[in-house]
Amino acid sequence: MKLSATLILCLLGLTLNAQNPKAPVTVTVKDPDGVVIPNDKIIFKGKKTGREIIGITDAKGTFLVHLPAGDTYDIKISVIGDDLEYNTIEIPTLPANATFQDMALEITYWMGDSFVLSNLNFETGRATIQHGSYSTLNKLADHLKRKKGLKILIAGHTDNIGNAASNVRLSKDRANAVRAYLLKKGLSAARISTKGYGMDRPIADNATPKGRAENRRTEIQIIE
């Protein structure tokens, strides 16, 4: 997945009551061509408190968030697969009688069209999804529910251990298992197709355990 990001902060003229020390931040999300991105989830996580504050962009690619003072927030973009670690924003503690000015945060990034679900695991030699993988699939389901027009292909891949025809079947069965999980979450069958490639499309050297682990993967490809 190729992603790039830039951060722009600017001060506006509005103020907020210092008795409620939260900084108002208007967030706009765009792609590199300047096209706004609706239904994107942006996560602000406080380094001190660990608290997560979430905003979702509207049809104009914007939302307003109020960030408590006295913390630095990691900014993450919720995408398919691992969240994009974007940047940080510091909201300082206000001195006495001071007020926050509004801030405008512009997030610009490009999301690719193919993603490996790195935290998705199956039982060895089977198409049974391990329980520890459910959070990854729940996140994928959430993304697809927000991006209602998105259609995907779930592509299963294996390493080169075993029979080629068996590996194709296993990779297809695993892709279908992911599809079945998403359908149970309420997603339309028409939006999700599957394909099993077996060992035919390695991305690493099958001669090493590390390489074989990389080749045993499930990819999500955006097809529309």
Measured CA to CA in angstroms, residue 67 lies from 11, 24, 27, 48, 195 at distances of: 15, 7, 12, 13, 43
Q: Model pTM greater than 0.75?
A: yes
114-222: same fold as 5-109? no
Query: Could you read off the pLDDT tens digit of each residue along the chain, which spans 224 residues?
Result: 344 444 444 433 334 444 558 999 999 999 999 999 999 999 999 999 999 999 999 999 999 999 999 999 999 999 998 899 999 999 998 887 788 888 899 999 998 899 999 899 999 999 999 999 999 999 999 999 999 999 999 999 999 999 999 999 999 999 999 999 999 999 999 999 999 999 999 999 999 999 999 999 999 999 97
Per-residue model confidence (pLDDT) at position 101: 83
Per-residue model confidence (pLDDT) at position 100: 85
3-state DSSP of 22-58? EEEEEEEEECCCCCECCCCEEEEEECCCCCEEEEECC
Per-residue model confidence (pLDDT) at position 20: 53
Q: For domain 114-222, say whether CATH 3.30.1330.60 is its number.
A: yes
Domain ranges of the chain: 5-109, 114-222
Per-residue model confidence (pLDDT) at position 1: 38
Q: CA 98 to CA 105: how far, in whole Å?
A: 21
Per-residue model confidence (pLDDT) at position 212: 96
Per-residue model confidence (pLDDT) at position 16: 41
5-109 fold? Immunoglobulin-like (2.60.40)
Per-residue model confidence (pLDDT) at position 204: 97
Ordered alpha helix ranges (H), the chain: 134-146, 164-184, 209-215
